[in-house]
Amino acid sequence: MDEQIIRITRALNHPIRIQILYYLNDNQKSSVNNLVKQFDVSQPAISRHLRILEEAKLVKSERVRQERYYSLEDKHVIKILDVLRQHVKEEFY
């Protein structure tokens, strides 16, 4: 259990990964190529971020023909991020 918490907190330790999670929450699923365009980040960098999120069991992937599509595996993470955002907002404003 503690190992999974550590994986999740490490996965959340990058702004692009947080943005990817919110994007997937809003759009249900996305291809790697679409995420590259959306975030203006290289394909290897997006793939690395997605691998970290997948290892933390926050996203899941499925292959459709030549392309891999990602979606949220755990929607609780959005609630956690929202609580953190609210905390920061209340704490610093």
Residue-wise pLDDT tens digits, 50-79: 999 999 999 999 999 989 999 999 889 999
Q: How far is CA 62 from CA 7, 18, 35, 80, in A?
A: 21, 20, 15, 25
Q: For residue 46, how far is the Cα from the chain centroid?
A: 10
The reported pTM is 0.89
**Confidence label for 1 from pLDDT (cuts 50, 70 and 90):** confident
**Cα–Cα distance measured from residue 39 to residue 80, given in angstroms and rounded to the nearest whole number:** 22
